A and B are shown apart, each in its own frame.
Chain A
C-alpha cells in the first residue's frame, strides 16, 4: 500500500460506525442515563465527520473546526439540561426506566 496520508474515507467510516452504535444504544437502552450517553456518542460521530471534511476538503479556511467548537458548546449545554431533567424525573417517578416514562403516550 502506497499512500501519502490516511484516506478521508477511513475517518468517514469510523464516524458512520460510531453514529450507528449511538442510534442502537438510543433505541435499546432502558436506563435514561445510557440514552444520554448514546446521544453524546452520536454528537461525537458528527464532530469527527466535520473535522475530517475540514481537514481534507477545506484545509485552508477550516470552517469545520469552528463548527465543531459550536457543536461541543451545544452538546455541553444539552448534557447539563438533560441530566437536570433526568434528576427531576427521578425525583417524581423514583425510577430511571425509559419504559415507565409513558405519560405522553396515547
Chain B
C-alpha cells in the first residue's frame, strides 16, 4: 500500500475501535433496530480493514453482500417479527451471564496469548502482489478453485429455493371440505400456533 505508515496506523486504530465498539453495541443494546444498523457499521469498518490489507475486491464484495444483502435482510426480518412482548423472566439468568462472560473472557485471553507468543513466519513484503490481487483471485477461481466455485453456485440456488419454501405461507384457495373459496384474511387470523408450549 502506498499511503504513509502513520496514516495506516490512524486508519487501523479508528476502524478497529469502530468494529469492537459497534460489535459490543450489537450484542448489548436494548433495541434490536439499533443493533441492526450498528451491524451495518461494523460490516463497513471490516471492509475498511480489508482495504488496509490491499484487498479491494474482497472489500467491495463485503460491502455488496453484507451491507447490501445480509443487513437489509436482517432489517426486513426485524420489521416482520417486530412485536413488543414481555419476556418471561429466567430464574438463573445472573449465574448464566456470569458463566458465559467468564467463558468468553477465558477464550479471549487464550486467543490473544496465542497471537502474541506464536512466532509467525511472515513472508517478505517484496513478494507482495499488492494491487493486482483482483486478477489473482480471478485466476484462482477459474483454475485451482473451479470446483468450489461451481459448487457455491449450486449452494446459492439451494439456499434460495430453501428460503422460499420455508418462508412461504401455506394458504389454500378453497375450503377442503366444501370446495368454496375462502376468505384469506380469516385463515390468517384464526390460525392457531401449531406447536404446543412444552412448559
Contact = CB atoms under 8 A, between A and B. Distances in A.
Interface of A: 3-6, 8-14, 16-25, 27-34, 36-38, 40-41, 44, 47-48, 51-52, 54-63, 65-66, 68-70, 72-81, 83-88, 90-97, 99-100, 102-103, 105
Contact of A97 (B85, B111, B160): B85
Given A6-B12, A44-B46, A62-B133, 19 more contacts: A4-B5, A18-B23, A28-B96, A51-B50, A51-B55, A56-B122, A59-B125, A62-B55, A63-B140, A68-B55, A74-B155, A75-B70, A81-B162, A88-B166, A90-B80, A90-B81, A94-B83, A96-B83, A97-B88
A21 B163 contact: no
The secondary structure that dominates the B interface is helix
Contacts of A75: 65-66, 70
B187 interface: no
B121 A57 contact: yes
B136 interface: yes
The secondary structure that dominates the A interface is helix
A65 B26 contact: no
B185 interface: no
B112 A37 contact: no
A56 B123 contact: yes
Contacts of B50: 51
A37 B167 contact: no
A21 B97 contact: no
A6 B52 contact: yes
Contacts of A95: 83, 85
Interface string B94-114: 001100110111011001100
B77 A99 contact: no
Interface in B52-102: 52-55, 57-58, 61-62, 65-66, 69-70, 73-74, 76-78, 80-81, 83, 85, 87-88, 90, 96-97, 100-101
